């Protein structure tokens, strides 16, 4: 029964902590948030197993981690330079239909990855791309060379 109680306490601590830090889809985690999620099991594993680490140590450890994540996000919101150090800056991979090999090499992005994102954006040729930008979240944004006309739901085709 002690093991069940330990798991319940740790579970509630993590749920409350993640809830206080805010909602975000797992696919949109920053590297810092991913590291945080990976550290949690390491901090609490001994407490759950009932080994030499007590549940108090796990609560203090996880709470400290959540405070660090909160402070990091607070500092990032307050100081843009701090956030840039954490997240990096967007990087241009394609400009006016031309790949930028230096940027692609620096970010370890292959032409195939760029082409895949182009197709998802409705572009089948490199010449159709004005910009391809590797965002700080790791996604590639595609800006077509020619903006598509806005969709008018009131108009009828034909």
Residue 96 · residue 110 · CB < 8 Å: no
Q: What range defines the domain where residue 133 resides?
A: 89-144
Specify whether 133 is located in the same domain as 120: yes
Q: What is the pTM of this model?
A: 0.57
- How far apart are alpha carbons 63 and 69 in whole angstroms? 10
Question: Are 7 and 28 contained in the same domain?
Answer: yes
More confident residue, 135 or 35: 135
Let me know whether 16 and 79 are in one domain: yes
Average pLDDT, the chain: 80
Cβ(103)–Cβ(130) under 8 Å? no
20 and 80 in one domain? yes
Q: pLDDT digits over 101-116, tens only?
A: 999 999 899 999 999 9
**DSSP count for the chain of H helices, then E strands:** 6, 4
Q: Is residue 153 part of a domain?
A: no
* Strand partners of residue 11: none
**Rounded mean pLDDT of 32-55?**
74
CATH code at position 99? 3.30.240.20
**Of the candidates 53, 86, 119, which is a domain's last residue?**
86
Q: Which of 139, 104, 94, 96 is nearest to 120 (CA)?
A: 139
Do 93 and 40 share a structural domain? Answer: no
Phi, psi of 155 (to 5 degrees): -85, 155
Structural domain contains residue 58? yes
The DSSP letter of residue 25 is -
Residues 75 and 38 in one domain: yes
In degrees and rounded to multiples of 5, residue 68 shows phi and psi of -65, -40
In a shared domain, residues 71 and 102: no
Number of domains in the chain: 2
């Amino acid at each position: 029964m002690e093991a069940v109680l330990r798991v319940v306490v740790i579970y509630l601590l993590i749920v409350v902590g993640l809830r206080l830090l805010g909602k975000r889809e797992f696919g949109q985690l920053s590297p810092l948030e991913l590291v945080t999620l990976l550290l949690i099991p390491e901090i609490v594993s001994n407490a759950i197993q009932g080994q030499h680490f007590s549940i108090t140590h796990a609560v203090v450890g996880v709470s400290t981690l959540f405070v660090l994540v909160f402070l990091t996000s607070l500092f990032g919101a307050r100081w843009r330079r701090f956030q840039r150090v954490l997240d990096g800056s967007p990087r241009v991979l394609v400009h006016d239909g031309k790949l930028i090999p230096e940027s692609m090499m620096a970010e370890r992005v292959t032409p195939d990855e760029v082409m895949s994102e182009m197709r998802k954006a409705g572009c089948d040729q490199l010449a159709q791309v004005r910009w391809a930008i590797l965002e700080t979240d790791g996604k590639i944004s595609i800006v077509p060379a020619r903006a598509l006309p806005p969709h008018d739901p009131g108009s009828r085709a034909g």
